[in-house]
Amino acid sequence: MEVQAIPIGHIQPSPMNPRKTFEQEDLQELAQSIKEQGLLQPITVRPINSSDTDPFAASHYEIVCGERRYRAMCMIADEGYKVPCLVRVMSDAEAYDAMITENLQRKDVDPVEEAFAFGKLRERGDTTEEIAARFGKSQRFVSDRIKLNSLIPELLMMVKDEKMAISAAMIVCKLDEDAQRKFLERHQNYSYIGKEMAARYLNEIFQYIRQSAWSKNGQDDFEGSCGIKCADCPLNTANTGCIFYEMKADDDTARCISKVKFLEKKMSYMMSVVDAHADNIIKVGEPLEYGKIAIVSDFSYCYDKEGANRFVEQLKAKGYEVFERGNLFAGYSRYNNDDERLQQKIENHEVCRCLTIVSYYSGVDIEERCYEIRKDAEGVDNATIQEGVTATQLAEKYKKASDKCKQEKETALSVLFTYSATTLSSAELQYFEMVSIIAYMLRDCCYEFRSLLMGTGSRLPMDAYFEYVSSHTEDHPKIMREWLRHELSSTDSGYTIYASKVKEYVAERWNPEGLAKVVDEFNTNHEKKTKKIADKLDAMGYTVEGKKK
């Protein structure tokens, strides 16, 4: 193909050229080199407005390859200067392909222009694999560059101006437009945006699945609003490693790439938590009362008020009453839910069980809390609450009085079993003694007794006890009678129902007169201390356990 000399005034740049950036300083250096040494490599052009008889003859020519050299020559030449050119007849598609090829083979190719060029080739029908092979790149590199076209214009310009690292851009470009604009708002005043900033932002908007409420509560199979388990979801980074390889996700570090869907699923999970207690939750129009669960909104530190209010509206639509914390509740108990101290407070109506809607950096959440109700709380039926408190307090007094009487009875019964020589007698055991001792031992044998009897306190299979008893018949009267005396002489043993029954069973036969005296004193004392309390509870419509009749 011959080189033609074409006047520089007849040559024009192509609007299709993907290269838009030309450094002025570099152009001046090239212009000086061309001035001193001439153009060492001709530019490639194609004729426009050519005639049918001679397709190479035209009044004007469009640059296909060499626009940078053309711009440098324009800085040193007049319109009559003739430029060495290779003239080729090319269609728009062929010319554009040549332009892309030339630009992508440069060493200093701009990443944004590279992304644009790869994207155009992909739109034209070339596969990622074909583009990668053609330009000596990996398929991941080509895919990433094409994805870079998803950046909003403002961020693309920051990449071109080298105000944003390409590594940061490759992370942010995989987010939706809304997330990108929020990223821009947060970082637009920074002089430079590095990869660490993008990674930190990514960690905030993508939720760790293992940290979700349903996963922490062992419900990894929860489908909720998504209709699919997280383990099977395509939005799980553990299932999309080829796209979000920066996260290096596995089952423990996997994250959801859709914050909207994650929060929707979180909302549906919170509603499932509420619905699980539906029978005991206070409904719309019902007063606040102890013993029932109240839904409470606590937005003192609310970072997602819109989401919190939306969840409240959903709860009200299902008929649940939602109480604002405000001046209604005092502080909440810090005890764990399984702590006996908290359970005691609940039983004593010192605190009210609540499902509390809160809002953290990670969004809206629901927590089980137990609040104290302020005595001066507004909008609460204090009379109803106070009645319940009074009934509980009276019931507690009744229980304490009853327990005290029982303890006095046990103490009196224990005196009947004071040590005596008769206990150590080797005389033949009576039938009721044998029944009592064996029944007690089978029910709950103490460690000390097992050690005394068999040389070890560890629990053994029942066959071992049968074998020992069978081979040590000579020790039965002494050991069994001593064990029975020792057990029944303990006041603590009276706190178990079966031990108390054994005491009365044996006392009825060993000392019937003493038993009758203890029982009479107990009944009289019990009635005296509890009757007034029982009458008050009955008048209020409550049982002695503090429950509404």
Is 67 among the residues known to form the active site? yes
Query: Exposed, middle or buried, 121 (CB in 10 Å: 0-12/13-18/19+)?
Result: buried
338-366 as b/e, with b when 16 or more CB fall inside 10 Å? eeeebeebbeebbbbbbbbbbbeebbbbb
% helix, strand, coil for the chain, step of 5: 55, 15, 30
Of 394, 502, 396, which is closest to residue 444 (Cα–Cα)? Answer: 502
**Three-state secondary structure readout of 500-511:** HHHHHHHHHHHC
DSSP 297-317: E--TT-S-HHHHHHHHHHHHH
How far apart CA 208 and CA 230 sit, in angstroms, is 11
3-state SS string for 63-130:
EEECHHHHHHHHCCCCCCCEEEEEECCCCHHHHHHHHHHHHHCCCCCCHHHHHHHHHHHHHHCCCHHH
Per DSSP, the three-state class of 548 is: strand
Local structure of residue 350 (DSSP, 8 states):
S
> From the candidates 67, 102, 114, 487, which is the catalytic residue?
67
Known catalytic residues? 67
